[in-house]
Amino acid sequence: MRIGLTYTGTDWKHENYVRWLKAGDEAIEVVRLEAGGGGSMIGCDGLVLSGGVDIYPGFYEGGVDYPGSGGWKPERDAFELEMLETALAKAVPVLGVCRGLQLINVYRKGTLVQDLGPVGDAVHQNTPDDKQHTVVVDAGTVLRAVVGEGEGVVNSAHHQSVDRLGNGLRVNCRAADGTIEGLEWAEPGGKSFLLAVQWHPERMYVNGVGDAALYAAIRERFVREVGKGKNL
């Protein structure tokens, strides 16, 4: 089983994803996908879109002047949008994490809140130790079926979030302040598996924080979907 994982931009952060996805299972190979690095979705059975720097605003018609702006990597954005398009075209299961959720929304013609501001930052802004907060999971969603719970505690390290929802997507959970924390297909019937969360389950796994269902159950369901058969 081969899972394509986009490179988050920092080796130790990338390794957190690898440890979480493998969880000691040597049958799982995690393939690093990086713009200019020669990686591709060929031979991969699943795709994980990792966290990292802000998406360049030109991809969603946003302004370039906002708190925390800059440091963009448009080449990464273009590469990952291509990987996502390939995965969806080949019915490969996709899991988005933090920036990965935002990328999925942008791909589906959605927009982003470019900065959550002082109030939002009080919960969601990155710190040396991830903040933690509660999310409420909507009934009747794939995420609710996966985690089996109506709410739980997650970590948080983002200053952007979903604004206008992308075409064909639905919100599956929110933070107490209303910030969108999860996405999935609005109509999943006949489509390949797609799930995205704004928190970092890979760091929850490594650091042992938050509710296990919101990192372990998500990983288990994704791996099960990937294992249903090779798609490329």
List pLDDT tens digits, range 145-193. 999 999 999 998 899 999 999 999 999 999 988 999 999 999 999 999 9
pLDDT band at 129 (very low <50, low <70, confident <90, very high): low
In a domain, 222, yes or no: yes
In a domain, 156, yes or no: yes
Q: 86 is in which domain, residue-wise?
A: 2-226
Res. 232: pLDDT tops 60: no
In a domain, 231, yes or no: no
The count of structural domains within the chain is 1
The two structure tokens encoding residue 89? 């075209």
In a domain, 20, yes or no: yes
d(CA 40, CA 34): 8
Per-residue pLDDT tens over the stretch 58-85: 999 999 999 999 999 999 999 999 999 9
Of 61, 49, 38, nearest in space to 88 by CA: 49
According to DSSP, the β-strands at 131-137 and 151-156 are antiparallel
Residue identified by tokens 């009080």 is 122
Per-residue pLDDT tens over the stretch 200-212: 999 999 988 889 9
The chain-wide mean pLDDT, for the chain, equals: 93
In a domain, 232, yes or no: no
Tell me the catalytic residues.
98, 200, 202
d(CA 153, CA 136): 9
In a domain, 37, yes or no: yes
50 contacts 156 by C-beta, under 8 angstroms: no
In a domain, 83, yes or no: yes
Q: Is the whole-model pTM more than 0.85? A: yes
Residue 139 sits in a domain whose CATH number is 3.40.50.880
d(CA 201, CA 185): 20
In a domain, 202, yes or no: yes
Identify the residue with better confidence: 228 or 202. Answer: 202
d(CA 5, CA 150): 29
Query: CB-based contacts of 178: which residues, under 8 Å, 6+ apart?
Result: none
